[in-house]
A and B are shown apart, each in its own frame.
Chain A
Amino acid sequence: MGKLDPNFIKPFVGGTIETLKVQCQIVATPGRPYAAGSAVTPSVDIAAIIGLTSKAFNGSIAICFPKKTFLKLMNAMLDMQAEEITEDFEDGAGELLNIIFGFAKRHLNDAGHEIQKAIPTVVRGQNLKIWHKRDVPSGIIPFTSTVGDFYIEVAIE
């Protein structure tokens, strides 16, 4: 198993912090990244995934939320008091990831990678797990925030 280049991870971390600050006025703090599977991740109820394609690599990035965190985040972003995840909120998860992706893409493309625009998909379910191929290095970046924990998962080959 190869190692993820930290230079790929940083723009996504930066994008996440920036996006939550601007869109939701929430301060998110990244924890220490670790290889997927090497520690317990919080239970996930909604996740947005985006496929990355570029000349040099393929991969995917996902942002994964427990329901509690996600609802607080969306309520902050949309100034609402919802108690259940609705369809509008699914759009919200994808929109957040889109903004994060756009931020990271700009940075990576400035560094000479030609990452294509991609469309996110949002998955909802109970106790979701995202699987990557075993031979693809994937890293988890845990975040803590004033509205709870969540994480992003980056897998690049």
Chain B
Amino acid sequence: MNDAVDPAFVKPFIVGTQQTLKKQCQLEAKPGLPFTRGKARECDGDIATIIAVNGKSVRGSFAIVFPSITFLRLMNSWLGEKFDKIDKSLEDGAGELINIAFGHAKSELNALGHGLELARPSVVLGAQSSIKHLTDVPVLIVPFVVASIEFQVELALKKVA
């Protein structure tokens, strides 16, 4: 049984992430080769943001996971201010980034009739955190490099009959 979604579903999330960082942070983020969770090393997660993907033909979750150094660098570029640690003042930043990236993927997929619904991101902060997507499809990890430091996108998408 193969419920994993078509790669065509994955691309809009990758492009959305790239475009968001380019527009908001003026930073060029390069996606690496996607892999299935467990097959390669993943980056550290100090702050993670997750959004539910609910559509007519696909369901699951989309997450972006940042080591704190990467997140602070992005916020620094975005807000034009230097931050030494992740604190409450950056509360909305991570959620806002994934919101914009998700918005991009959503409009692209909905133009093809996939009916993705608006959703609200959750942001989780914690040293060495990892996300577990409760789904029976393989979780796809897309490693990214931005300003020579890493972060990753996680996608657990399942086809809906």
Contacts and interface: CB of A to CB of B under 8 A. Distances in A.
A98 interface: yes
B131 A157 contact: no
A134 B59 contact: no
B40 to A, nearest CB: 18
A50 B52 CA distance: 8
Interface stretch (A20-28, A104-112, A122-130): A122-130
Contacts of B52: 50-53, 60, 118-119
Contacts of B75: none
B58 to A, nearest CB: 11
A55 to B, nearest CB: 9
Contact of B54 (A95, A118, A123, A157): A118
B143 interface: no
B119 A90 contact: no
Contacts of A122: 131-132, 134
Contacts of A35: none
A28 to B, nearest CB: 22
Contact of A116 (B45, B50, B95, B117): B117
B67 interface: no
B120 A121 contact: no
A59 B133 contact: no
B95 A131 contact: yes
B interface: dominant SS:
strand
Contacts of B133: 119, 121
B97 interface: no
Given A119-B61, A125-B127, A134-B92, A90 B132 contact: yes
Contacts of A90: 132
Contacts of A126: 126-129
B50 A49 contact: yes
B120 A133 contact: yes
A139 to B, nearest CB: 15
Interface of A: 44, 47-53, 58-60, 62, 87, 90-91, 94-95, 98, 116-134, 136, 155, 157
Given A123-B130, A128-B129, 16 more contacts: A48-B134, A51-B52, A53-B54, A60-B52, A119-B59, A119-B134, A119-B156, A121-B63, A123-B129, A123-B131, A125-B126, A125-B129, A127-B127, A130-B124, A131-B92, A133-B95
